[in-house]
Amino acid sequence: FVEYIFGYNGLGKTTVDALETSDFPVITGSVLFIAFIFVMINLLVDFLYVLIDPRVKLE
């Protein structure tokens, strides 16, 4: 959506273009970046869950 409005290529299009041209450094960077964002979001949700539900405690 944002790609079409502002004309910027997003991570998805960049990754697909890299897959089509076998650009392995870009593919590796994209996969690592997506994995990093996934892990950070999961950590954030875990910490927020502790704040929301008092029965859950960090150990």
Could you list the residue range(s) of the whole structural domain that residue 15 is in?
2-52
Decide if 37 is inside a domain: yes
CA dihedral 20, 21, 26, 28 (to 10 degrees): 70
Q: How far apart are the C-alpha atoms of 17 and 25, rounded to whole Å? A: 12
- Looking at residue 32, its amino acid is L
pLDDT at 6 over 90: no
What digits encode the pLDDT tens for the residues 15-24? 999 999 999 9
Decide if 35 is inside a domain: yes
pLDDT at 12 over 90: no
Q: How far apart are the C-alpha atoms of 49 and 43, rounded to whole Å? A: 10
Decide if 31 is inside a domain: yes
Residue 44 is predicted with a pLDDT of 96
Decide if 57 is inside a domain: no
- This prediction's pTM: 0.75
What digits encode the pLDDT tens for the residues 23-40? 999 999 999 999 999 999
Decide if 30 is inside a domain: yes
Domain count, the chain: 1
